Amino acid sequence: METRIRASTFVSLTLFCATLAAQQPDYYQAVAPTAASYILAGGAGPNVAASPMCEAPCGSCNDCCQDACCPDCLGFCETITESIFGHPDPCCWCELPFYTLFSEGWRQPWVPSPNGSGGAPRQGWINAADGNMYRLNFLTFAQAFKSNGQSDAYLAAYTLYTPLSRRLLLITNVPFNMYNSVGSGQPTIEPDEPVAATTQNQTTFGDVSFTPRVLLHETQDLSITFDVTILTPTGGRPLAGKTALVPTVGFWYNLAGGWVVRGGIGDFIPTDGTPGEALISQLAIGQTITDHDALLGDFTYYVSAVANSPLDDGGGATSVTLTPGMRTHLGYDFYFLAGMPVPVTERRVGDLGMIFWFMKAW
């Protein structure tokens, strides 16, 4: 049976899977009481000297900024170097609201954002939009199980989150091995869509993507970001070899306690003249239920919904996937994440999927 690959689904899952989830290191001391199990407290990260408990995050940078925290005298290269290699003090964090978008944060080195007022850490989940700024890298392994005599599909990828300042981040995603038809973060197999066809399995290097991210707004409980994913044709057709732009808005919000709701919406726009424009919508909710230093530290369970709606005439029906998942801290800023994408519509990316992330923050 022929296997057909849809470019819109490829980048939708690039956007909301491999390049949109992460977990920052445990720099930030919890600002809420720690009596309940869902209130998290962290120690110093691997390259950061332990800092005293922050009584509360600051409001505007102008309210609490000291020269050591907000060195606006830094040049562009100095800000980048300090953001990537520096030892950030979490007590230097301050709010960056919308109205300071063009005046604050661009020449301030990256610092980890605090837990929400309910204690929820700013963490990343598989198949869920970030809405945050991180400093980390991780490996992805994914498999899609198929029926009807088709072979399974596999993906191996490497993703790097590189902060350049408090306002600007660069995400680099490298799918270094794709077997049959897989996309960054989740296999994509769609036998109903005649976009590209192959009658045999294929192993290839994937399409590398670069995603500049801008922090539009950040308070203790709410973060909003704007991304533009740039997909480059570094892989072999028909699985890869595509070019596209994906502008996206994402958010993260601490509802109460360990509960978080997050989501995003983006538009996959092919730039190589091929069809496949699609609206990508995502919403997720989850809860962190253990302390950071527990046996399964920062253990979080969640469920995410991703909808891929073709915008081209004759593009087909919307596909919807639900992903129950989990994340836990393994120690020394290493994390393990797992998700199981389950299609709920006839148009689907496989009968069942499994995704694993092995992550290190610094």
Q: CATH number of the domain that 160 lies in?
A: 2.40.160.40
Q: Distances in Å between the alpha carbon of 239 and those of 78, 136, 154, 354?
A: 40, 28, 12, 19
SS3 call for 243: coil
Q: How confident is the model at residue 144 (pLDDT cuts 50, 70, 90)?
A: confident
Inside any domain, residue 33: no
Find the farthest-apart pair of alpha carbons in the chain and give their distance in angstroms, rounded: 65
Higher per-residue pLDDT: 44 or 153? 153
Domain that holds residue 196: 3-26+119-361
| Cα–Cα dist 75/70, whole Å | 12
Inside any domain, residue 7: yes
Inside any domain, residue 343: yes
Inside any domain, residue 32: no
Inside any domain, residue 76: no
The 3-state secondary structure of 70-132, one letter per residue = CCCCCCHHHHHHHHHHCCCCHHHCEEECHHHCCCCCCCCCCCCCCCCCCCCCCECCCCCCCCC
Which of 170, 248, 172, 163 is closest to 207 using CA atoms? 172
Q: Which residues of 78-109 are buried (b: 16+ CB within 10 A; e: fewer)?
A: ebbebbeebebbbbbbbbbeeebeeebbbbbb
Tokens 């309910």 locate to 118
pLDDT for res 90? 87
Inside any domain, residue 70: no
pTM over 0.75: yes
Inside any domain, residue 144: yes
pLDDT exceeds 90 at position 210? yes
| Cα–Cα dist 233/244, whole Å | 9
Q: Over the stretch 90-115, which tens digit does the pLDDT of each residue have?
A: 888 999 999 999 999 999 999 999 99
Count of structural domains, the chain:
1
Q: Distances in Å between the alpha carbon of 135 and those of 2, 109, 120, 210, 330?
A: 41, 12, 18, 15, 17
pLDDT exceeds 80 at position 221? yes
Q: Over the stretch 72-86, which tens digit does the pLDDT of each residue have?
A: 667 889 999 999 999
| Cα–Cα dist 203/184, whole Å | 14
Q: What is the residue-averaged pLDDT of the chain?
A: 78
Inside any domain, residue 184: yes
Question: Over pLDDT 70: what percentage of the chain?
Answer: 72
pLDDT for res 68? 62
pLDDT exceeds 70 at position 307? yes
Which of 340, 355, 15 is closest to 173 using CA atoms? 15
Higher per-residue pLDDT: 300 or 345? 300
